[in-house]
Structure 1
């Protein structure tokens, strides 16, 4: 970008006030028309004699815009050419983009329909003038109060430029890949109906807060979905929208242009009729219900400086909005099943058969517990950390009873022993033992089902254990004991389980295993076909099985993955009506609340669950949730409760260290991390210690520990980014640049918002500011704004010299929970001229703008 437009003060009769935005080709300024005394926006471009095509295209844009005069289209007032600068003088819309408006204030359905009808009318005016927009999206709609205005006709073309021939490969996709029509994605000839499809994408985003073809940062993947994936309304849409609106959205998103509405005037008319139908209904929910935001603002989180593995190990309780349920009158006893102890007197005993016997005993005991309506299976079974102290173990996991199974086997026979221990005393209250055939796993399973009720005389099973043939059960065990190596293995297992379902349709563990394998595969691949297969598999279960709480949990997990919140809520309501275990219901509600961004509800449910079942895992999960939401003192207290139950719990100690780091207590954080790398030397510990030392200014030692972490996990871009930062702060520029380049290379093919934020920071440190900003914008198109994204944006803009934008993002990051200590790094020092920045980064009596050390 030339110095000329960067330093522009006047252009013709227009007095430049301030920049409104920047792009790869030019700058948009707010200016004052000195003759007409009005504010205008001027899109300024540097004219280069070597870029005649660009100059011609810019002037063509002016000709196109000059044809449009409509209240819902940004109007072109003037074209000014002065020396090496071309300026398009346009109407100034003193507001935000539609995307920003939706984030800040999700509209009611009534308001959303008003926005869309206005946009449709503006687009119809463009089409009447022979203009196709080709890049209609949320960011190109400017809001002037409640009036949306279509802007940025920069790639629009007159109809005659499209109708004659297909484009070359270099022209194949104009506009955003996320709003392209199928024909646009394939480089086919276009007419007005390409904008109709893009309007359908925009309309669905305004109404639902989601992209109609799902989330992905891979542009090619999105284009593939737009071309080939059939659009379908989900349960939430069908519940919330009038039938006429459902039909219109579906028609707008038809793959074939001839199946879409023939013009936007018709679309605007339909939207207005739907809006009037809402006006005519009394006490209608749709007109007052708030639509989910396009990118819901997450609550405070501070994961930027936590090693990923620590957070990755967390099992957050998950959930829905609060549903009023009757409290259970039934006392559910918590029962933990230990791993079976196996012994044999024959040195030649088959190892494979030993694994099968152990798996059969444990899964059969769990199956018996899951069939009970008075016993709750406690998921904890690792007693090793308690050195065999059953009382401490039971107290830590909040178990009323412990089942200790064992098997003493000869070549052909085994003696099965079940001991029931009191959680309060650790003493054996009852013992059962009996012989079984060592070669028959189905015999072991069936005898456990028969004997287990004797341990709990008042046990009531909600359904009988189904018989499963020996061959079918052995096939199940093979699949249970074999973890898939890759996606192909996982798909093969799903096929085998589907075949097995034909023989053992009533066998509940089969559905649990299929659900776990399918959801794991979906998490790795993001392939919605996996969720469809899971839905079919679950739907084939017998009615009696589908009415069991454990099966309902499987349905619930599937519904959450498909984001069918209404379906998930119906499962929770069913559980409440069946007087199900309150702890279980709370867990499901909390999961749904997290998914729906109802953070206060989720936290309240987790706090209640800790009171109902005060186990160390629940205290730890609560501590993480409090920490994630920025409640640092509450997080510290919950972590301390974890340590009271398990004094050397590494995760809880890590969390307390992270809290000290977030609070800027670097000496305490460093002391704790040094202790942790001695107790549990791993890459996460080395990284956290290295980062803390970097913030303390101990760069050589910081590089030592972060390099140790990187050596253990060489492909992790987070490690590489922190290593690059440490090298840069130590003045080792060459090593820093190499590490930053590795971050860029290693995030090139990765999905996930954090990968984009790492890449943007690395690009900015290497001086490629335009690309860094493009990377941030690409992430914004798919992912919600977070404190981490605000931190990355603050860093990028600070390095690029965009101080105002950097300070805004700094405030967003700190308000979201990012510790002020992170802004004490030297690349933020250029912001110290701002009093707001100085105030924001003040931490106790330390402020980097005064040269205070950390």
Structure 2
């Protein structure tokens, strides 16, 4: 009935769409329809509805011509968009959520679309390149009394009949739920790839009969792998009776939001039950759970991040991110020369352990700079996103101390709550438990778990425990310390403090030398904790921490899924997911989750996690910006200096890379950081220094595969081919039957150097499929193809690496230099690596 012109608004300098009746259809009914559309659009103002800018009227005699000046959408219809793209499930759900939001605003104003179909949804892009849905054609109402002639005409408009609700076809009174049936037809087609009712050769009347009296095709038949919760949602939307459909578009939005944020897990029975409740008219006995789910969705939407099902407490409790400030001791404590230090360690560990006694709470690591005053420390904590700080001040005289515990708000520098008591320094064990329990009482009762029950050690064993934790704080651990803590846990398996200490010590030792036996030792100890009444919540968190450090991908994912049903704080869960995606080469997902975690809790670790995913996906400039901001805010976050060194290495700023890594105190460099320093020497052709550095790494971590491979390449540059070959043969044994990404990466390169070309290329292709954006994998692929004399393939990956900013120094190896004489190699590559 109309025609649409692309026009320019000369006053506001913008493109607009002018919608005008065609002259041959300008009946009174048509004019009324377009005027109706103008009236309706004038009431609507929503980012997911096409906006009305103006109405133009021209009167000629008794006739009035009407045209609508509307927002110009540069894009296509949803139907065309579906045909032309292969969007991810998350993108599809996002579009459906947007349609729900636009539809809800119309329904709130009493407007029923009555012609909602894929052709009336326009898809454009926002500034980030993400698809945006816009509902159009409001007010072009279809007749509610459809006779055969009308149906035949309608059948020629693609999709209109299949989108009509049964009550619309039957001429019954329409409600907002009529549009929800049409929304269900759109969602079914978008998600399942086909329409819920097959076209019938008998035409529109047969189609109408099918919609009104026959069941739609089961979603499982159209999409065999559809998750059960999503199938339930589609079934409810396409119910014949309006009363059986969801109550509103807002409720449908909440369902899609749950699915979008949680992800699709068909076997999640509790989540399926939750959605069943959400989209069903509930009896009294189940209404309470329905209300809790909706409240949970609303709360998490306010937070701006994931709606995770089953969070019985986190939906009611704001997450708390808690830091422990340095313990202050005034006066003199009688005893050994280290009595004061041990007392300070006792109080600090008690405060740190008190966080595990709180729901929806996470401990944020914090070590202030020397000489930093109290107000500056609070400002640093505020910058880290800390919600609460625990502070302890002791006034001591001989063997008696009065301790004042305070819960401080970094945001306002105000004391929220405080508690004090007196203890004797020769009764430190009792004092530790009382300190933990008293600190937990500083928080609202809704957050509190059961208080810790004291499990005493002998005085001698307790002193060993405090000595080890004191060395942990001073970063002066010995490998024997972990074994001593494990032995203590064997003697005192009901002492919860020991498990936390084992986790921290094992992690610290692993970071220093990379030996996974430290992590295994901690995990073996945790396994026995269940038998001795240790909190499952505590052990789950400790396991997650350890799994996140080592090669435990399957256990890690299973435990994350379990923790989603508990009171684990949202930012922590997001950062754990980000780490998991990073370890598995999905850097886009890792970056998204790390960014969400940093928005909720802008800690140094979360910012660092953003940078890691940026670097791994080749976004060096973004990573450099993130890391420079991080070290400005957290000047002693040494991991960020290490990551900056990696960026400068890959960008060819070798002196800057060396300087960044060397700025980390030597005793605090991990073996990986030391290895990167060796790479900086190697790329600057300081081969003897590189060999010395790699030997340092191997002293820390014997048989470290990356260091050995780099050492072999160094020998090649020095012309010692036999030494290089010996190392490559050893690497072949070390990587045999190893399935982690790093082992497969170095095995492929080793096979290439040992002239096992077919096996090497096969493994390389597998790695490229597994993590196509990984810089290390693409670099090794270029090297492997060069060794195999596959010049075109090597050239392809070198071009990619150069385009993302990798420096030419990385291509000094003999394998790459062979390309300089090959005609298949581009001038771009030759000019970059051969000069």
With structure 2 as the length reference, what TM-score do the two structures score? Answer: 0.50
Q: Name the one with the larger helix percent.
A: 2
Larger radius of gyration: 2
Q: Which has the higher contact order (CA 8 A, sep 6+)?
A: 1
